[in-house]
Amino acid sequence: MVDDGSNDQGATESVCLNLGCNYRQNVKRMGKGAAVRTGMKAARGLFRIFTDADIPYKLDAIGIMLKYLDFKEFQLVIGDRNLQGSSYLSEIPKVRKFASIFFTWLINIEPAC
């Protein structure tokens, strides 16, 4: 678990320790990319999976990921909330849905040069 500079007086760390999780903290907010790097650098084991704390998918997705990584010998598995059959976009507020679609579009624009 990576705490990206929260000001929760140690509540996140306490939950992690009570659950037997490894805890890392970015002293100041550095953003999601830094939190992912911090966690993945500290992770150990044959398979390493990361997710947001709100776990935006059903937990059986982890078993599916492990199937592809272990039995099918994929090197990387990436989840996509926008795939057909996903209920994610129908469950989030419209403003967040728009922002998600907009930023996905923005990062996929091909540069003009």
Q: What's the pTM value of the predicted model, to 2 decimals?
A: 0.62
The pLDDT, as a whole number, for residue 11 is: 87
Amino acid identity of residue 26, one-letter, is N
Ranked by mean pLDDT, the top range of 17-21, 64-68, 90-94 is: 64-68
In the numeric block, the tokens 């999601």 are attached to 32
Residue 18 and residue 15: Cα distance in Å, rounded?
A: 5
DSSP tag of 57: S
pLDDT in tens, 20-56: 888 999 888 898 889 999 999 999 989 888 887 766 6
> Is residue 49 in some structural domain?
no
Q: Specify whether 72 is located in the same domain as 87.
A: no
Phi, psi angles (nearest 5°) of residue 3: -95, 115
The pLDDT, as a whole number, for residue 9 is: 87
pLDDT in tens, 82-107: 777 776 656 667 787 777 777 777 76
More confident residue, 64 or 104: 64
Q: Specify whether 12 is located in the same domain as 36.
A: yes
The pLDDT, as a whole number, for residue 74 is: 92
Q: Which residues, 6 or more positions from 38, have their beta carbon under 8 angstroms from its beta carbon?
A: 2, 24, 26
Domain that holds residue 105: 82-113
Q: Specify whether 2 is located in the same domain as 36.
A: yes
More confident residue, 65 or 84: 65
> Is residue 24 in some structural domain?
yes
Q: How far apart are the first and last CA of the chain?
A: 40
